[in-house]
Amino acid sequence: MSRTKAGSPHDPRGSGRFNEERATYTVASAQPDLETGVGVIRDTVKTLKPRPGVYRMLDTRGDVLYVGKARSLKARVANYTQVKGLSNRLKRMVSQCRAMEIVVTNSEAEALLLEAQLIKRYRPPFNVLLRDDKSFPFILLRADHAFPRIQKHRGARRAKGDYYGPFASAGSVNKTLNALQKLFLLRSCTDSFFSNRDRPCLLYQIKRCSAPCVGRIDQEGYASLMREAKDFLGGKSGAVQASIEKQMAKAAQDLDFETAAILRDRLRAATFIQGSQAINASGVGDADVFALSAKGGQMGVQAFFIRGGQNWGHRAIFPKNTGDVEEAEVLADVLLQFYEEVPPPRTILADRELPEQDLIAEALAEKAGHVVAISIPQRGDRRKLMQQATRNAVEALERRLAESGTKAKILRELAEFLELDEVPQRIEVYDNSHIQGSKAVGAMVVASPEGFEKGQYRKFNIKSAQTNDDFGMMREVMGRRFRNLSEHPEGEEGKKGSHETVWPDLVLIDGGKGQMSSVRDTLEEMGIERVPLIAIAKGPHHGREGREVFHFPDGREKTLPVNSPLLFYLQTLRDEVHRYAIGAHRAKRSRAITASPLDEIPGIGPARKRALLLHFGTAGKVRAAALEDLQRAPGISEGVARQIYDFYHAGG
């Protein structure tokens, strides 16, 4: 057995909290074989001790099949050698196991946290997984400026300030943010915009900012607004409203009607925030509410986010790989993975008892840095809130099942219409975007029965195709997409992994006969003949009437009825790749606009480029400068000046 020091480049967490002991036994057999898998596990058990930790099962390619945690690694891993007591799902997993990796931790709570981290990282096919892995938005009140800004925030919380959330969606945080700007008149502009103002911007005119940038409010007055905002977001909304009402009454009494009107508008904004909450969460404080529903072999979890007694939205979560897993275990896995992204509140309400509930609470408390309590509401407002969450979970799952049934029907119709052998599980859609050949970009989006797989999208910077040659661009994109893939026999690789190992079940091209011919000929030259191809072209009225024409590789054409659900679905695929291609092209064009000819000179970084432009004024004058003039520029040494001069005068 080899030992890898925690925190080294080989440590999956990059932290020194855990001790890792890695035991890897690779066998020659690549085919699923239960006896071989059990043998690998038995060899691993011989090296283990009754200590807490996490284990990973790997297949023949080294991909992670499953991540599990244990109070005693030796006892837990040994259970997998008792084949008769395993479910069919676990037997399939053991039969594919060709190696194991072990991480020893200091406690079972640490093992639980590490298990969630590794599941999030590797997304193993035999673990319960969250489908939606995007981060949740927060509201951030910054604390790194004399006049701090209020803003929406996603991702790592590195900025100094107070974070409030999570919010269920960007829409819910945007509505709250707009109302908070009206309520507290806090600035939302960047620091550079703030420092360059000499008169108030539009937000001041529409009463959504107090204009501290031009001195319309002093630092003490702005700090008072910040304190009110923190109190409001921290659950003291009633006290804040009472204070504003008192100020408004005094302003009216003093006949200061302009100030009274401003305070009235702020009060309305506070009322809007509370009135827009469809869920009554008063008296709950800070809590997350989770309820699970199961039907038709699928499970759905409804989550409500309550902060300071205010409802900050709700989200439906549909975990995958739930097969023969107990409902309570699924909910526990959802909680642990969910709080990998979101800081846990002090109270978590669940609709059922969880396995190892106290251990989960201990692990989340360790992560959060404060006590976390998990409870099942029995009476009062919390019970009513849980009942509402349960109703939402049932309704969300029923909608999901209805949509899944409709999508399955559409995909069956798609297979029939396009004459495919089976329903496609991976659809790749391609398009190009450019302006007269300039800054050309190719785009690929991926769709599956579960929707768009945005993590699989890919863009191609067109390199070799001639200007305005759409067909050449498509040939280049196809060549680059399938070059490495053509080395693998079609159909051998699973629906998993990188683009180089995943074969599409259908390729849909945004274009007509020309694009179809380009793609077909390119793939034939590469020896690829079994990938189904279809080109979708707008009809004579440019698709305004839904008269799209579908071109087949053999030259045939088909159309669909104007109101066909299948046509709508295919239009959605085409529109998504069009959106993605245009976005990639615009981003490339924006970068080109801000580019400078000086960027092409080797060894000239941002600091030297800035010094040259400040000294000479323009890149053209740098190009025309004599060697002696370049040497006199601040920060430019004799060697660098010679390098710049030679770059522009190499042919002279």
| DSSP class per residue in 559-601 | ---TT-HHHHHHHHHHHHHHHHHHHHHHHHHHHHHT--GGGGS
Within 8 A by CB and 6+ apart from 554, the residues are none
Distances (CA, A) of 424 to 413, 419, 528, 554, 555: 11, 11, 18, 20, 22
pLDDT tens digits along 480-520: 888 766 555 444 444 444 455 678 899 999 888 888 888 88
555: left (phi over 0), alpha (psi -120 to 50) or beta: left
Classify residue 26 by burial, with Cβ atoms within 10 Å: 0-12, 13-18, 19+. Answer: exposed
pLDDT at 399: 87
Q: pLDDT band for position 106 (50/70/90)? A: very high
pLDDT > 60? residue 169: yes
pLDDT at 494: 40
Q: Domain 427-585 belongs to what topology? A: Nucleotidyltransferase; domain 5 (3.30.420)
Where does 287-399 sit in CATH, by number?
Answer: 3.30.420.340
207: left (phi over 0), alpha (psi -120 to 50) or beta: left
* Residue 7 amino acid letter: G
Alpha helices in 276-379 (DSSP H): 327-341, 357-368
Provide the β-strand partners of residue 589.
none
354-359 CB contacts, 8 Å cutoff, 24+ apart? 354/328, 355/326, 355/328, 355/329, 356/112, 356/332, 357/332, 359/108, 359/109, 359/112
Cβ atoms within 10 Å, residue 402: 10
Q: Which of 192-201, 252-261, 384-393, 444-453 has the lowest mean pLDDT?
A: 252-261
pLDDT tens digits along 598-616: 666 776 777 777 778 777 7
d(CA 563, CA 572): 14
Classified as helix, coil or strand, 211 is coil
Q: Which of 60-64, 73-77, 280-284, 411-415 has the lowest mean pLDDT?
A: 280-284
Within 8 A by CB and 6+ apart from 306, the residues are 281, 284, 285, 286, 287, 288, 289, 312, 385
Please give the helix or strand (H or E) that residue 460 lies within, else none: strand 458-461
pLDDT at 290: 95
> Domain limits of the chain?
2-122, 138-275, 287-399, 427-585, 597-649
Instruction: Please give the average per-residue pLDDT across 72-90, as a whole number.
Output: 91
What letter does residue 7 receive in the DSSP assignment?
T
Report angle CA 628, 634, 639 to the nearest 5 degrees. 55
pLDDT tens digits along 450-466: 888 888 888 888 776 55
pLDDT > 50? residue 68: yes
Where does 597-649 sit in CATH, by number?
Answer: 1.10.150.20
The closest alpha carbon to 44, from 70, 18, 5, belongs to 70
Classified as helix, coil or strand, 19 is strand
pLDDT > 60? residue 355: yes
φ, ψ for residue 140 (rounded to 5)? -115, 125
- Torsion 213-197-188-201 (CA) sign: positive
pLDDT at 260: 78
Cβ atoms within 10 Å, residue 232: 23
* Residue 112 amino acid letter: L
The closest alpha carbon to 507, from 546, 481, 538, belongs to 481
d(CA 382, CA 377): 6
What letter does residue 186 receive in the DSSP assignment?
-
pLDDT at 26: 46
Same topology between domain 2-122 and domain 427-585:
no
Instruction: Please give the average per-residue pLDDT across 303-322, as a whole number.
Output: 84
pLDDT > 90? residue 275: no
Supply the mean pLDDT for the chain: 80
The closest alpha carbon to 414, from 510, 534, 303, belongs to 534
Pick the CATH number of 2-122 from 3.30.2320.80, 3.30.930.10, 3.40.50.300, 3.40.1440.10: 3.40.1440.10
The closest alpha carbon to 288, from 344, 355, 369, 361, belongs to 344
pLDDT at 249: 81
The closest alpha carbon to 55, from 129, 131, 119, 121, belongs to 119
pLDDT at 467: 57
Pull the structure tokens for residue 96: 């594919």
Distances (CA, A) of 439 to 38, 136, 169, 267, 590: 55, 33, 34, 50, 10
Provide the β-strand partners of residue 347.
287, 373
pLDDT at 400: 84
Within 8 A by CB and 6+ apart from 455, the residues are none
